[in-house]
Chains A and B, each alone.
Chain A
Amino acid sequence: MKPKVKARLQQGFLWLVAVAFFLPVLWLFLAAFKTASQILAIPPRWIFRPTWQGLTYMASHQAFWSHAVNSVVISLSAVVIAIVVSFVAAYSFSRFRLRGTNFMMFVLLSIRMVPGAAVVVPMYLMYTALGWINSYPGIILFYAMFSIPFSVWILKGFIDGVSPRFDEAAQSDGASRLHVMFRIVLPQVLPGIVAAFIFNTIFVWNEFLFDFIIGGNQVATIPVALASGLYTSQGIDWQYIASLTFVYTLPLMVVIYFFQKYLLVGMTFGTVRGEV
């Protein structure tokens, strides 16, 4: 076999696998543009006239807007808080190198590795005691706390890459420590900030368990809405689910497409950062 033909065949096979994996997602996306009867039609309808009916139906729900706004507000504010805290923490870890820095970095990451199910009950009890159940500050702080370890790891890797000579030169030039951090070091680790931001936003955007347990109606995000908004008097409301899933997934797919290389940084805790 000619190498070129072989390569073509391999590529074709890979495409086949990719399409197979994407098929359920595609099916949901198609469903978002079908009528309720078309979604459940047997045999399945691949060819149909697209309709905005499902999306307008979803948009007419009061609950949809509150869930969508919650998702955006909670993810963004939690991650912004996390990044500010993490940048300062990572700068300190990187520059002051206190005794036990490595151990603290390890502890920080291991906190993040604890499965959610293991801590959800104590968290619930703690939040009840504090009266933070179903409150924005409560859920935002929780997600910020959950986003900090990864962000510190990613940012420390980047800040380690900025020579301390920058700090020293700026300080002898008359700059304060805050000026050094935010005006000299920060601009040089922007790729790390972007990576931490994207990675944690995706995590918070997708999180279900804690919003379900320590959240409540007022702070319910789209994942919670998807799970709890399933049932109507006529059974499962597939049209609503399909439309909501479409609207919920699309922004993530766009973000992931444009920021793929930053995701790699996130998944390797900032240790691989050659491309960004």
Chain B
Amino acid sequence: MAGVRLVGLTKRFGTMVAVDNLSVEFPDAQVTCLLGPSGCGKTTLLRMIAGLEQPTAGQIFFDRDEVAEWSSSRRNVGMVFQSPVVYPGLTVFDNVALPLRGTLPGPELRKRVGDVLELVELQAVAQRKVDTLGNAERQKVSVARAVARRPRVLLFDEPVTNIAAGERITLKRAFKRLTTEVHLTLVYVTHDQTEAMTLADHIAVMQDGRLVQYGPPRAVYRAPRDRFVGWFLGNPGMNFVQTRAGIEDGAALFAGVQGAADLALVGFRPEYVAVSPVPEPGYVPARVVRAPITVGGQRLLTLQAGETTFKAKTHYRQAYTAGQTVYVNLPADQLRWFDPAGAALLRGTPGRRGTGPDGE
């Protein structure tokens, strides 16, 4: 296994910049998820690490080896694609064993393949032809083939996207097992944040070919570096409300007080909005704008307080109807401050207790 270090990596297709001067280090034996919306360059980045795409500029290191000029086979990477790649007509065992043939003696090869098949729970079908398997199992075969070679770096390109929803969970469970039992340097591309949150030791959020934020999943979630990350992570993403604040040296010093001159954005996650059907001390009234919908066992409310519309998540047992008046409170320590352009400000000391989203 090896750590992956990218230095000033750039890829242009004609005039389109897919990856823009990106530098980052993915640590050895850890799982890094590349997360971002479609077309943000994450797949291109992965393909450059795999050696399937030539970078326009920049360097790629596996530990101390500069591999940008190396062919894909010399880099010794294991790649898993969006659609399962299995060699038709061969058994599951032969599919996994194919790249190892000639490099390992028979007994060792059988043990190596057997171990990996057990890890992805395919040992029961080892002698079946891959053609008889479903998509999820085929994807497990291609994962097993990539892992069995013990590559320096494993690269997964949205491996569950083309798998039927019901079968995804078994694949994800297999990945989780893989990442906890074998220490792999895994770079995992996904646009599904839940996947990233479950699997990753670190996530790297990309936008328009640039790396926006890199860090442990919870940290990125709690303290997004800019408006995009806050909006992109979370389901739904962060609420943003424009307000006035005093900004000094990149920090929000106070907010919502008379005379605050600077425009600022305050962001807060829907799940941190406390909602009560009855008035409570420190709560401000808000109106339920739309009939609530249920998301993942939680009720998602669209609320309006004063001129401000925002979303809140509550327990599914609480029933609300459109037009109803509710009472909301926002804990001050859950507010994140951004400048008008969307870049995060240092944690400030807002001038008053943050109660309403617009500082009422």
Contacts and interface: CB of A to CB of B under 8 A. Distances in A.
B145 A173 contact: yes
Given A172-B51, A172-B52, A165 B85 contact: yes
Interface of A: 163, 165-166, 168-176, 184, 187-188
A174 B88 CA distance: 19
Nearest to B74: A174
Nearest to A166: B85
Interface string B40-83: 00000000001110000000000000000001110111110111
Contacts of A184: 87
Interface residues on B, range: 20 to 34
Contacts of B155: 172
A171 B85 CA distance: 12
B83 A163 contact: yes
Contacts of B277: none
A168 B50 contact: yes
A165 to B, nearest CB: 5
Interface string B85-128: 10111000000001100000000000000000000000000000
B79 A172 contact: yes
B145 A168 contact: no
B149 interface: yes
Contact of B81 (A168, A174, A176): A168
Nearest to A184: B87
Given A168-B50, A168-B52, A188 B88 contact: yes
Contacts of B73: 171-176
Given A174-B149, A187-B89, 5 more contacts: A163-B85, A172-B50, A172-B155, A173-B98, A173-B145
Contacts of A171: 51-52, 71-73
Interface in B10-67: 50-52
A171 B151 CA distance: 13
B103 to A, nearest CB: 8
Contacts of A168: 50, 52, 72, 79, 81
B142 interface: yes
A172 to B, nearest CB: 4
11 contacts: A168-B72, A169-B79, A169-B81, A171-B52, A171-B73, A172-B72, A172-B73, A172-B77, A172-B155, A173-B78, A176-B73
Contacts of B75: 172
A37 to B, nearest CB: 58
A173 B99 contact: yes
A166 B73 CA distance: 14
A174 B85 contact: no
Nearest to B99: A173
A171 B52 CA distance: 9
Contact of B83 (A165, A176, A188): A165
Sorted nearest first, the 10 A-B pairs with minimum C-beta distance are A173-B99, A169-B85, A172-B79, A174-B73, A171-B72, A165-B81, A172-B72, A165-B85, A168-B52, A172-B77
A174 B76 CA distance: 7
A188 B51 CA distance: 25
Contacts of A173: 73, 78, 98-99, 145-146, 149
A187 B90 CA distance: 11
A164 B24 CA distance: 29
A182 to B, nearest CB: 13
A170 B75 CA distance: 13
A175 B99 contact: yes
